[in-house]
Amino acid sequence: MWFLSISLSLRTIPEATAYTSANILIANASPDHMRGLVNGLASATASAGRAVAPLLISQLVDYLDVHWLRIV
């Protein structure tokens, strides 16, 4: 169980840091009058990527017939 905790921490902490940093960079790069629109588009794009990526990657793994990625 301790191994799972460590591995999840090593995955989650950089992910949260990178996501927050990307939002800060996007907010600082956008003009003041368009900041809400730009932040909304960035969040929508990130959410769409999180929704579509598992579907696309699973099809790619199935197409390439990669056996070493299959856990089950």
Give tens-digit pLDDT for 29-71: 999 999 999 999 999 999 999 999 999 988 888 888 776 666 6
Gap between the Cα atoms of 24 and 45, Å rounded:
16
- Average of pLDDT values for 10-22? 84
* Rounded mean pLDDT, 3-23: 84
Note the pTM of the prediction, 2 decimals: 0.64
Q: So what's the pLDDT on residue 72?
A: 53
pLDDT of residue 70: 62
